[in-house]
Structure 1
Amino acid sequence: MIRLLTAMASLALVAQPALAQPANLQPTRDVTVTYRMNAPGMAGVPGTAAPPQGMQMAFSASDGKQRIDPPGGMGWMLVDRKANTAVMVMDAQRATMAMPPATVAAMTQGVPPGATFTRKGTATVAGTACTEWEVAAGPGRGTSCITEDGVLLRTTTTPPGGTPTTVMEATQVAYGPVEAARLKVPSGYTAMATPGGAPGAPGTAPGR
């Protein structure tokens, strides 16, 4: 669950080029985006893939908070870019788990050192125009389609010697205020130990 949520957040936050200077590196307006996730091998059988699944991302430009609801409904992640924090929220257990510093850094501090970016043209995804950027980091390759106001609409990866695979693609883009309650950990949730055994703060709710 932790790996899945971290992967979602990384796609939504890290896959935004910094060196080639898109107009904006994160949304400049409040927006909610529904994505279709393709996960090769998720079905557990080599050479196969699980059916596409839905994911939703909501971003508040005013306070820099982002909510990510991954497939399965097992929980959600709240990322606070201004506070440089990320917490997994499990409503069924009324519990939270703060992500460790290294994971938070991977989600909030931009692209890997040495990555290069090349503008490839334009596209339309979910009825919304975006610019395609080819990203190269080590042996890996990928393409991210980003709007002028900083919304990531599509991510495609190309493994070494492999073929391009669309990992995430927007199916609906809705601009407008994000309900404040959706970007806040409910009161009374218990903080669990973070991955790696670091203790949390019992009885508190990170992100409030």
Structure 2
Amino acid sequence: MDEKQERRRRMTHCQPARTRRMLTLCSLLATAPLVAGLLSQPGHAAETAATPAAPAGAPAPAPQMDHPRLMPGRDATIDYVFQPRPPAGGGPATALPIKDRHVQVLFSGDGGLMRINYMLSMDGPESRGAVIINRAAQEVMIILNDRKIYTRLVQQEVARSPFLLDMSMSFTRKGKSEVIGQPCTIWGVVSAQGNGSACVTDDGFILEQDGVDVDGLNGHLKAMKVSYDDVPATSFQPPAGFQEVTPHSPGSQSGGNEDGSAPPSVMRGPTSVQQQEHSSVPSATGVVPGVGPVTSMPSTDSNAHDASGNTP
């Protein structure tokens, strides 16, 4: 083999090695800016490893709010037990001890409608009455089942309820918990009436509340059962066959609070428990036993008229 053929053979034999070296060098040069970027951000690598990548087109996770969701995010029916306590701050106690109460609350998905059923027993389906709150219309409807009547109280400036929170309160995130298998966030709550805590789901439902409610009533509220089935629209309408009764006195139309005081809490329900036990007819100016929140109802005399203008 002459000298030219030998030189050609040696160049052909070495070419793959040179090609491999060039590819390796190009790869290093291509990755150098990425490595430099990671080294200039010490926490980036750890954060990337800890946070899974979001799918393409998915919205960025929402930042944590400094308050719970204030309105329900879907329909729900929640059965609560309420355990009253002596007034906070050493105030005078009620004359008669108040037993635990079973209340069933129906929420509309937009938070604008709420129905509170005041149950007769802790486990039975029967109720003695209900309050329907229409926040958008500023209307409260009170229903008495035993008398098959209802009345509407309109232009209620604030339809307050311990089952909803609002921005007049201040909140402090306390941690996580679970009530009847449902996860919720514990919030410290401070209002003009006092302090308390509430465990609220991400979709805006209070599952447990302790302390003073929006109207100053002290106690413990806890969910016993939760259903997320759709709530029919008829649940927020007057029952079929019930007679509408309209108060004759303008003062009664405003809930009987002629002194301008706030209406009693819906959880206070019957401020006259003894009256409920002895009579099914509420007084014209007193609180309807077991039904709150604004609970003045007409009596069966000339001070009350049905919706058609006839005395019931």
With normalisation by structure 1, the TM-score equals: 0.69
Which protein has greater RCO, CA pairs closer than 8 Å, 6+ apart?
1
User: How far, CA to CA, are the matches of 1:60 and 1:139 in structure 2?
Assistant: 27
| 1:89 equivalent in alignment to 2:89 | no
User: How far, CA to CA, are the matches of 1:34 and 1:195 in structure 2?
Assistant: 35
* Cα 1:47/1:85, change in 2 over 3 Å: closer
User: How far, CA to CA, are the matches of 2:164 and 2:228 in structure 1?
Assistant: 25
What are the ranges of 5 or more consecutive residues in structure 2 without an aligned counterpart?
1-64, 88-92, 121-126, 255-303
* Cα 1:195/1:68, change in 2 over 3 Å: farther
What amino acid does structure 1 have at the position aligned with 2:182?
Answer: T
Shift of 1:139: 6.5
User: How far, CA to CA, are the matches of 2:245 and 2:183 in structure 1?
Assistant: 41
| 8 Å contact kept, 2:245–2:307 | yes
| 1:180 equivalent in alignment to 2:228 | no
SS in 1 for 2:160: helix
- Alignment partner of 2:113 out of 48, 52, 65: 65
* Cα 1:157/1:99, change in 2 over 3 Å: farther
Larger Cα-atom Rg: 2
What amino acid does structure 1 have at the position aligned with 2:238?
Answer: V
Normalized per residue, the structure richer in helix is 2
User: How far, CA to CA, are the matches of 2:165 and 2:71 in structure 1?
Assistant: 10
| 8 Å contact kept, 2:67–2:173 | no
* Cα 1:172/1:189, change in 2 over 3 Å: same
What are the ranges of 5 or more consecutive residues in structure 1 without an aligned counterpart?
1-18, 160-164
- Alignment partner of 2:220 out of 158, 167, 180: 167
* Cα 1:99/1:26, change in 2 over 3 Å: same
| 8 Å contact kept, 1:154–1:166 | no
User: How far, CA to CA, are the matches of 1:30 and 1:129 in structure 2?
Assistant: 17
| 1:197 equivalent in alignment to 2:245 | no
Aligned to 1:10: none
SS in 1 for 2:235: helix
Deviations 1:47-89 (A, max 9, x none): 9844422111111215732111124332101112332322111
* Cα 1:89/1:195, change in 2 over 3 Å: farther
| 1:29 equivalent in alignment to 2:84 | no
With normalisation by structure 2, the TM-score equals: 0.48
Aligned to 1:79: 133
SS in 2 for 1:196: helix
Residue correspondences, number:
178
Aligned to 1:152: 206
User: How far, CA to CA, are the matches of 1:86 and 1:149 in structure 2?
Assistant: 24
The range that moved more, 173-182 or 26-35, is 173-182
Name the Cα RMSD after superposition. Answer: 3.5
Runs of 4+ in 1 over 3 A off after TM superposition: 45-51, 99-113, 199-202
Deviations 1:155-183 (A, max 9, x none): 10069xxxxx7521001111111133322
User: How far, CA to CA, are the matches of 2:86 and 2:141 in structure 1?
Assistant: 27
What amino acid does structure 1 have at the position aligned with 2:203?
Answer: D
What amino acid does structure 2 have at the position aligned with 1:55?
Answer: V
User: How far, CA to CA, are the matches of 1:168 and 1:179 in structure 2?
Assistant: 25
Normalized per residue, the structure richer in strand is 1
| Seq. identity, % | 25
SS in 2 for 1:67: strand
User: How far, CA to CA, are the matches of 2:184 and 2:250 in structure 1?
Assistant: 36
